[in-house]
Structure 1
Amino acid sequence: MFIFRTNFHHEGWSWTPETPNLFDVEFVLKQKENIKDVVSSYFGLRKIHQENGMIYLNNKPYYQKLILDQGYWPTGLMTAPTDDALAKDIQVAKEMGFNGCRKHQKTEDPRFLYWADKLGYLVWGECAAPAVFTHDSSKRLMQEWTEIVDRDYNHPCIVTWVPINESWGVPKISFDRQQQHFSQSLYHYLHSLDATRLVISNDGWAMTETDICAIHHYGHGEEKEEDKYQDFVTTLSTREDLLNRPSTPWPIFANGFIYQGQPILLTEFGGIGFDFSGQKGWGYTSVKNEVDFIKNYRRIINAVYRSKGLWGFCYTQLTDVEQEINGLLTYDRQPKCDLKEIKKINDSFRTPYLE
């Protein structure tokens, strides 16, 4: 095998959502002068890490504006109708000012990851959670994550692994040492397989060892519920307020674990319900028309942007799915409002000074 290096890496070649540089590679297998096989692929140069309460992309502070994406489709359920449809989801999200997604409770089609690599779109990788905590479920989840990392390791778009969400499959993790050990083992196992990405031990609450403090908070209330909204604003305002939020059924960290300076991201919030197409369902709050939809989106995002403790967010969610009507798009991908207005709100942000 002959490998030719024509130049050295410099910063302008790095992969980012804004400049998704990819390098084409062709492997040619020869026997003497006869070509036996040709394989084409690509790669991207990208580094992700966290320090000083911030996430860095290629050694520069990078604020993630993510959208929760469950990857459901009205005809194929978990299967997209076409390859173009996968690309379109990414294009529309970017047009709204998001720079990535949290693929929620789904290990996505490799074609989606291809388009995320090519179009420039960060991805947090997840898989479906087990229903209960058992010896067999633990073994199966560990094996599934082995297969996920083996399959998707080389995609530059993937920057974070999320092995557990909201204590699903580990319902007693707040106080049960066995379930905490399992969460820790997943965290360390994923790092042993993949030292290039961040890992969240339990997205939402009751975290053990984790690279990101990932908090869920849907308590912003309806527009008329000003007290709820002000509580939401106050809770997000500083790092200390986020970590010491008013009592909820679930602690931010599991018993025996404490915050250690990780970046804090609001990884679920929003979820404004809007029955745009006659689909019955629910949202965390509700509106009746497009004007109020945009107004409420602005109200909620402004609270996030005012925070001096957050270093990114993941808004719920990209599309309506089954019984949930809290997407920015309908189930069949029709915009519920002028998407330029969503982009204008998302783009109003300036990187905060963290206190």
Structure 2
Amino acid sequence: MPIPRPAYPHPHFDRSHAWQSLNGTWDFRADPAEQHTAHDADGYDRQITVPFAWETPASGIAAHWLRTAWYRRTFTVPPAWEGQRVVLHFGAVHHAATVWVNGIEVAHHEGGYTPFSADVTDALGDGGHLLTVRVHAPADKRDIVHGKQRSMPRDDYDGVCFTPSSGIWQSVWLTPRPATHLAALRLRPTRDLTGIAVDATVRGPNADAALLHLRVRGEASTVTLNIAADGRAGTELPLADPRLWSPEDPHLYYVDAELTSAHGSDRVTSYTGLRSVTVDGEALYLNGHRLFVRGVLDQGYWPDTGITAPDDAALRRDVELAARAGYNLVRKHLKLEDPRYLHHADALGVLVWAEPASPGSFSPESTARFAEQIEPMVERDGNSPAIVIWGLYNEEWGLDWDIPGDPAKQQAVADAYDRLKALDPTRPAVDNSGWTHVKTDLLDWHYYDESAASWAATVSDLLSGRRDDFPVRLGPDHVVHKKLAVPGQPLRGLPNLNSEYGGGFTGLERAWHLRWQTQELRRHDRLAGYVYTELYDIEHESAGLLDFHRGTKDLAGVDPAHVNAPTTLVLDVTPVAPGRDLLTATREFTVGVRVSHHGTDPVDGILHTAWTPVYAAAPESPGGAVRGCRAEAKPYLLGEPVAVPATLPAGWTSGRLHLALVAEGTVVARTALDVDTRTAMHVGDDPQARPAE
């Protein structure tokens, strides 16, 4: 049987020249009474496939609400590792893991999303070795970090949670290393983007007597560093012809590090990209160029494997699917994702908003456990050039939905922000995504609305400053108004993002809201970006552009890539309903069309139109040019309206008007308008049916 997930698990700290995967078949026993010990040899009555959680079909167990279980397997150490220290690594285990080798306890770790390792050399004997792991995954997860995994008793947000993923859910592997070894290799671009800043950490006996040799692949020289008494070494590696990392050119620089000491040689490879992400007033910049975030939410679940991807190709495919839908950023929601996902995002040039898992309630224990994730998150993933935003809390989850009313919760948020920024000041951080902010670099908000008219009005009010709160429906008859920030946190002078939105309960409705709500966001020049909810369905949640298996859904002819293109068309229309965007009493009408353009140079072209039946996809041809309808826009400034006349084809009572902007023979923007004459006898009495003012 092939080893599942055979790729090296940690591409940003790569020892793949010498390693051994321990994924595959392990002995397994449930321990519902929690009476077993590590020394019990009996009771292993089943086998489990690692690294899939025991709730999943892929694990072979599919056990639900099991709190405690034991894993067991044997392993041997390759003869070539003789004389080196042997280290056992776990990518992630939910939630608490105790590990024994040959009956000797070698590790205990709590935290279901963070990696841990143990030097097991002193527990080894001759021949084969017995590895035993006890995992405790509480059903009541309210005081532990668990993200979107369901808790029992339930969290306040149980309605948007999914099947838990308990046990070993990321890879397990062995590596050899000398007693004096590299423990960390932190890579960041230099401030002027001409080189790589290196901060290495060395551990072991007489670490300060070791030498660290660094080489950037493709560069001629090697740099040798002495190690300080505290085990640290740092330098800047200049690059002869620096090549920046960007979505258009995701160039990666690989750094080979070799540590030489009296205990031998230790080799590690890491990589990064030369890129900067900065905040200047209300704008985000990538490498000094304006960045408008066109993002999509991705929660990292798969049908048969839970929070573990079935294979490496599935991770890469999710990155590709987001890019194919026109998105330049993925917000990995409430989950420290598998490092290999970030590796694919780095290589493909897709930006990432990364954030840790949340607890379910506010307590000293849950606050501490949340904070304990921050350093491992930055340590493990900080070399990734794709990560351009760090997130922390989300919608006051784990804060009992009451930041404004409780100074202790405000302090917890501020402390988490300060901790993160002390570890990594190079990226903007969001303190409490979507709801009341306490201390943040980006002012983001989550707003869901099933009415196109009230959606447009609320977005306009928020971005114009006419209001600093917005409605949040917490239940069928329970609506609260969330303030953007507590007093003292500025509401101006920071990038402003809508980082969750979407509406509708069917594919048709979802596509309609995607098109019109995104258009309204593009209408406002103040906005720095958006994140649509979401890329694919998960279990009972059907808000995705794709189904749970990543298959296509009926989006009523709407192509997300047109909606999310760098250049789009904005119609001066408040739509009525799916299939009836515009009601008109006559076949002839005029619609105002504007251009929203997020390129580096101005754009101008001729507007073209074509007719199809309602819900039909855009035809390959842009249609006929509309005489006198030249539209243009400067970068990041909404263009002036152009009045486009149109006539519904003879004999038609409804149809879809496709509009395209053609510049130098290329279609650079598309949108559509569904027109209906059958229900427009009293159109003048319906304010939503008139073109917006």
TM-score by structure 1 length? 0.85
Tell me which residue corresponds to 1:213.
443
Q: Structure 2: how far apart are the matches of 1:144 and 1:36?
A: 31
**Equivalent position of 2:527 in the other structure:** 310
- 1:90 equivalent in alignment to 2:319: yes
Structure 1 contact 174–250 (Cα < 8 Å) conserved: no
- Aligned with residue 410 of structure 2, among 173, 180, 187: 180
Could you tell me which residue of structure 2 aligns to residue 258 of structure 1? 490
Query: 1:342 is matched with which residue?
Result: 560
Match of 2:505 in 1: 286
Change (3 A) 1:146 1:230: closer
C-alpha change, 1:244 and 1:206, in structure 2 (3 Å) is closer
For the structure 1 residues 146 and 228, does the alpha-carbon distance in structure 2 shift closer, same or farther, using more than 3 Å as the test?
same
Residue identity opposite 2:254 in structure 1: D
Task: Name the structure 2 match of 1:277.
Answer: none
Summarize the Cα distance change of 1:13–1:226 in structure 2 as closer, same or farther, 3 Å threshold. closer
Say if 1:31 and 1:104 are closer, same or farther in 2 by CA, change over 3 A: closer
3-state SS, counterpart of residue 17 of structure 1? coil
Q: Is 1:142–1:186's contact at 8 Å kept on the other side of the alignment?
A: yes
- Give the CA deviation at 1:340: 8.3
**Structure 1 residue aligned with 2:538:** 321
Give the letter aligned to residue 285 of structure 1: G
Deviation at 1:299, TM superposition (A): 1.3
How far off its partner does 1:17 sit?
Answer: 1.6
Establish whether residue 235 from structure 1 lines up as the match of residue 467 from structure 2. no
Counterpart residue identity of residue 346, structure 1: N
Tell me the distance in 2 between the aligned counterparts of 1:261 and 1:323.
Answer: 39
What is the CA-CA distance between 1:342 and the residue it aligns to?
1.2
Q: Does 1:353 align with 2:637?
A: yes
Q: Give how far 1:71 is off.
A: 0.5
Task: Give secondary structure in 2 for the equivalent of 1:24.
Answer: strand
Whole-Å separation in 2 of the counterparts to 1:10 and 1:119: 24
Q: Give the C-alpha shift of residue 333 in structure 1.
A: 0.4
For 1:42, which of 261, 271, 286 is the aligned residue? Answer: 271
Answer whether contact 2:510 2:543 (CA < 8 A) is retained: no
The aligned counterpart of 1:189 is 419
Q: What residue identity is the alignment partner of 2:253?
A: F
1:258-277 → structure 2 map (5 Å cutoff):
258-270=490-502
Match of 1:275 in 2: none
CA contact (8 A) 1:149 1:194 kept: yes
Q: Is the 8 A contact 1:239 1:308 kept in 2?
A: no
Q: For the pair shown, which has the larger CA radius of gyration, 1 or 2?
A: 2
Which of 143, 166, 171 lines up with 2:372 in the alignment? 143
Structure 1 pair 61–246 and aligned structure 2 pair: CA distance change class (3 A): same
Closer/same/farther in 2, CA of residues 30 and 196 from structure 1, 3 Å limit: same
Are the structure 2 counterparts of residues 330 and 11 from structure 1 closer, same or farther at C-alpha, using a change threshold of 3 Å? Answer: farther
**1:55 and 1:10 mapped to 2: Cα distance?**
28
Tell me the distance in 2 between the aligned counterparts of 1:296 and 1:55: 26
Change (3 A) 1:234 1:70: same
Deviation at residue 256 of structure 1 after TM alignment: 4.5
Q: State whether residues 417 and 429 of structure 2, in contact with CA within 8 Å, keep that contact through their aligned partners in structure 1.
A: yes
Q: Are residues 200 and 11 of structure 1, via their aligned partners in 2, closer, same or farther at CA, if it must alter by over 3 Å? A: farther
Aligned position for 1:27: 257
Aligned positions of 1:2-13 closer than 5 A: 2-3=213-214, 6=220, 9=239, 13=243
The CA distance in 2 between the partners of 1:286 and 1:174, in whole Å, is 32
Q: What is the SS of the residue equivalent to 1:147?
A: helix
The answer to whether the 8 Å contact 1:63/1:311 transfers is yes
Say whether 1:81 aligns with 2:310. yes
Q: Which amino acid aligns with 1:24?
A: Y
Q: Which has the higher contact order (CA 8 A, sep 6+)?
A: 1
Alignment of 1:141-180 (within 5 A): 141-171=370-400, 172-180=402-410
Shift in Å, 1:146 = 1.6
- Once residues 470 and 507 of structure 2 are traced to their aligned partners in structure 1, the CA distance between those partners, rounded to angstroms, is 31
Which structure dedicates a bigger proportion of its chain to helix?
Answer: 1
Per-residue deviation, 1:353: 3.3
Deviations along 1:83-125, one digit per CA (max 9) or x if unpaired, are 0000000011111110111111111000101111111111111
> CA shift at 1:312, angstroms?
0.4
Alpha-carbon contact 1:96-1:340 (below 8 Å) kept: no
What SS does the corresponding residue of 2:597 show, helix, strand or coil?
coil
**Distance in 1 between residues matched to 2:319 and 2:342, nearest whole Å:** 10
Q: Is the 8 A contact 1:199 1:211 kept in 2?
A: yes
- 1 CA distance for matches of 2:452 and 2:558? 27
Unaligned runs of 5+ in 1: 271-283
